[in-house]
Amino acid sequence: MGLVLVLAGLSVLGYVAWQYWGTNIVSKQQQAQVREAISEDWKNGTDGKNIGLLRVPRFGKDYEVPIVKGFDPGSLAKGVGFYPKGDLPGELGNFAIAGHRVTHGEPFRDFLKLRKGDKVYVETRTAVFTYVLRNAGDSITVDFTEGWPLQQVPDPALRGEPPTKSVLTMLTCSELFHTDNRNVVVGDLVRIVDKSDPERKIPLPSA
């Protein structure tokens, strides 16, 4: 019985170590591979199967994480996931993304440090989109079943309303360990830079 308990304890410790350290190592490698794939696609003049790159100065000057399509576990292990039924960067509507705060690369580990007015940059093959956050990372908490953050207009009071502007919604777990709650920030698109002509002023989408 003592041996069984020891083995069970080691198994639990091994599982925890894998979840909180092993998955980070694997995901960092996968993120590097995705970034390389994005770079090669852009050099070849194609968008590829990924969305682009995310930069958040609040998370550090060197912070850069690939944005991949999908909210499934496999996608979230490779970077930040894009809600596939949502709108793309710069389109009228809601560009919704999600990421882990712990395990699998921890791209949103510092999510609760976000503050109203912070800038978030999304780079695609052709443009760089600048969003300014409306709220802090710890100011909105919802149950994981709540659907309004994924609406075209991410506002619980505007369910079903057509979009009038381009916005960004970022989601993550509200606790470092298992939780059914999610933290949410929403940002407004304030600038679009054409990478082929940075001086050209591009109008923001509106209804």
The per-residue pLDDT for range 126-151, each reduced to its tens digit, is: 999 999 999 999 999 999 899 999 99
Find where tokens 């960067």 sit.
Answer: 89
200 domain residue, yes or no? no
End-to-end, the C-alpha distance of the chain in Å comes to 69
Of 63, 151, 156, 58, the closest CA to residue 112 belongs to 58
| Between 3 and 164, residue with greater pLDDT | 164
Instruction: Please indicate, yes or no, if residue 33 is contained in any of the structural domains.
Output: yes
205 domain-assigned: no
With a cut of 60, say whether residue 15 has pLDDT above it. no
Name the one residue in this structure whose structure tokens are 């908490």.
Answer: 141
> 206 in a domain, yes or no?
no
Domain span holding position 107: 1-194
Burial 74-83 (b: 16+ CB within 10 A, else e): ebbbbbbbbb
Examine the pLDDT at 4 and tell me if it is beyond 50. no
User: What is the domain-level CATH number for residue 103?
Assistant: 2.40.260.10
Residue with tokens 């591009």: 202
In a domain, 59, yes or no: yes
15 flagged as catalytic: no
Predicted pLDDT of residue 32? 85
Question: 199 lies in a domain?
Answer: no
For the segment 55-106, what is each residue's pLDDT rounded down to a tens digit? 999 999 999 999 999 998 888 888 899 999 999 999 999 999 999 887 655 8
Question: Alpha helices, DSSP H only, in 80-129?
Answer: none
Residue 51 lies in a domain: yes
Catalytic residue among 76, 80, 170, 173: 173
Total domains in the chain come to: 1
Task: For residue 13, name the pLDDT band (cuts at 50, 70, 90).
Answer: very low
Whole-angstrom distance, CA of residue 25 vs CA of residue 153: 36
Q: Work out the pLDDT band at 6, boundaries 50, 70, 90.
A: very low
Q: What is the mean pLDDT of the segment spanning 95-119?
A: 89
Residue among 95, 79, 90, 175 nearest 125 (CA): 90
Catalytic residue among 55, 78, 100, 182: 100
Please say if 174 is a catalytic residue.
no
What tokens does 68 get? 């991949």
Burial of 203 (0-12, 13-18, 19+ CB in 10 A): exposed
Residue 123 lies in a domain: yes
